[in-house]
Amino acid sequence: MPTLAIVGAGPGIGLAIARTFGSRGFDVALISRTKEKLQTLVDQLGQEGIKAAAFPADVMDRASLTDALDAAKAHFGDIDVLEYSPAPHSPVPGLTMAAASEVTVDNLQPQIEYTLYGAVTAAQAVLPAMRKAGAGTLLFTTGGGSVHPVPMFGNVNAAGAALRNWVINLHNELTGTGVHAAHVAVNIWIGDGGPAGFPTATPEQIAPLYWDLYERNHRSEIVFSG
């Protein structure tokens, strides 16, 4: 069975991606901070006939993230697809939003740790085996502000843009190796409760993009605007 690892797994887009790949024969390794929430997702997927397992880790703790991915490999075998999309739905120590004019080194550094350094750490845990096998897919998700910045998210967008730059550069480097890297910028509000007039979409509408990127191995980036 091929294996998908989702870093930042949650009940929204992460669960939808897990279902999209799991229903097509993938085993699913779920990684995020809270073991209890992960187990709920594992149980949901299991009821749908999808084999999944939980590997708790904090993306701000790079050693724990590497250990979780190593544990996933020990459990399922090598990771065939990595999807990285941590999004804080509850307070994360040190993470605050700042408008562009209010960005400081102190409020930007944690965003860089969370968004870019976590992604690089996850990639380095799986990329050597992918390169050796000549096959693999690395998918990284940010908000649309990584492409079209929004002033109120000055530090968040800067970190997302750094991740986007690195992913596209990685895509270019890996061309011809059989390993594919791509960036997904979600330029809408996921689910209900978004700002008035802001476009929305369900996780189920977004998740097929990831399967398309995996199956076709073609693009360096998709910007989803609904």
pLDDT digits (tens, 9 = 90+) for 167-176: 999 999 999 9
Return the pLDDT at 201: 73
Asked if pLDDT for residue 53 goes beyond 80, the answer is: yes
Report, as an integer, the average pLDDT of 195-223. 83
Give the pLDDT band (50/70/90) at residue 215.
Answer: very high
Residue 53 maps to which CATH number? Answer: 3.40.50.720
**Closest alpha carbon to 181 in 167, 191, 201:** 167
What's the pLDDT tens digit per position in 54-81?
A: 999 999 999 999 999 999 999 999 999 9
- Return the H-helix or E-strand segment holding 14: helix 13-22
Containing structural domain, residue 109: 3-224
What's the pLDDT tens digit per position in 110-148?
A: 999 999 999 999 999 999 999 999 999 999 999 888 999
Which tops the pLDDT comparison, 195 or 74?
74
Helix segments in 77-153, DSSP class H: 105-112, 118-133
Return the pLDDT at 189: 63
Give the pLDDT band (50/70/90) at residue 220.
Answer: very high
Q: Quote the longest CA-to-CA distance of the chain.
A: 49
124 to 65, 162, 172: CA distances (angstroms)? 11, 17, 17
Q: Poorest-confidence range of 69-73, 84-88, 146-150, 196-200?
A: 196-200
Asked if pLDDT for residue 91 goes beyond 70, the answer is: no
26 to 80, 157, 183: CA distances (angstroms)? 9, 32, 21
Domain count for the chain, please give it: 1
Average pLDDT over all residues of the chain: 92
What are the counts of helices (DSSP H) followed by strands (DSSP E) for the chain? 8, 9
Asked if pLDDT for residue 52 goes beyond 60, the answer is: yes
Cβ contact 173:179 at 8 Å: no
